[in-house]
Amino acid sequence: MGPAVRLLLLLLAASLAAACASTGATPRPFPTPKPPGSTPTSHAPAHNGQTPNAEGQSAANGGSPIAYSVAGTALSHRGTPYRNGGSDPSGFDCSGFVRYVFSQHGVIVPRTVSDLFRAGYQVATNQLEPGDLVFFTTVAPGASHVGIAIGGDQFVHAPSSTGEVRVEHLGASYWSARFVGARRVL
């Protein structure tokens, strides 16, 4: 194999290994969506403790109206195609999707997964509310993928494997094994 072919293969491998945290891309393989009505096989890791919100109330007291609106906006984009670096309804990557959805409600959040993982404050898994951000490690240690909690055990995100925004279960074995934390920015 010649030097030019090796260089091309190296560049191709580097682009495929990029994560949403650095380039807007999300890594493969993501699990394929399960049919509606299917149940998750395991549960997301539980975290002890409870963090109060800005008003000093715990998440158990209920989410804010804007949080439910954010979740509704996120759901309205199901089926939108995945696009590396995308941040509008013509196509989204994971962090571009989060930034776009929140901006529709006048909330500006960071653009990259790593910056989103430092925004707001940590939320225990058993205290998740619609609009909270959920993070996963998919290609490297630390947060490299983000989604938006929509209630119960579900979140919506922009993965690359099927090429469209979709809903997943936090308790699914793929996601629970890769869950690294949740943040509240509202």
Catalytic residue among 43, 47, 77, 94: 94
Spatial CA neighbour of 185 closest among 114, 102, 124 = 102
15 in any annotated domain: no
Kindly report, residue by residue over 80-121, the tens digit of the pLDDT.
999 999 999 999 999 999 999 999 999 999 999 999 999 999
Give domain status of residue 14, yes or no.
no
> Is there a domain that residue 157 lies in?
yes
Catalytic site residue from 20, 77, 157, 169: 157
Structure tokens at 64: 């804010």
CATH number at residue 126: 3.90.1720.10
The answer to whether 105 is a known catalytic residue is: no
Give dist(CA 153, CA 43) in Å, integer: 9
Confirm whether 131 is domain-assigned.
yes
| Annotated catalytic residue 47 | no
Residue 107 covered by a domain: yes
State both tokens at 87: 């941040």
- Residue 49 scores a pLDDT above 50: no
Annotated catalytic residue, options 20, 77, 145, 169 = 145
Look up the domain containing 97 and give its range: 62-186
Q: Is residue 1 part of a domain?
A: no
Residue 20 maps to a domain: no
Distance CA 71, CA 131 (A): 5
Q: Is residue 121 part of a domain?
A: yes
Split into its structural domains, the chain has a count of 1
What sign does the dihedral 84-88-92-96 (CA atoms) show? positive
Percent of the chain predicted with pLDDT > 70: 66
- pLDDT exceeds cutoff 70 at 173: yes
Residues in contact with 125: Cβ distance below 8 Å, sequence separation at least 6, in sequence order: 44, 45, 46, 47, 170, 179, 182
Has 157 been annotated as catalytic? yes
Tokens 């993070």, located at residue: 135
Rounded Cα–Cα distance for residues 138 and 150 (Å):
21
Q: For residue range 125-167, what is the model confidence (pLDDT) as tens digits? A: 999 999 999 999 997 789 999 999 999 999 999 998 778 999 9
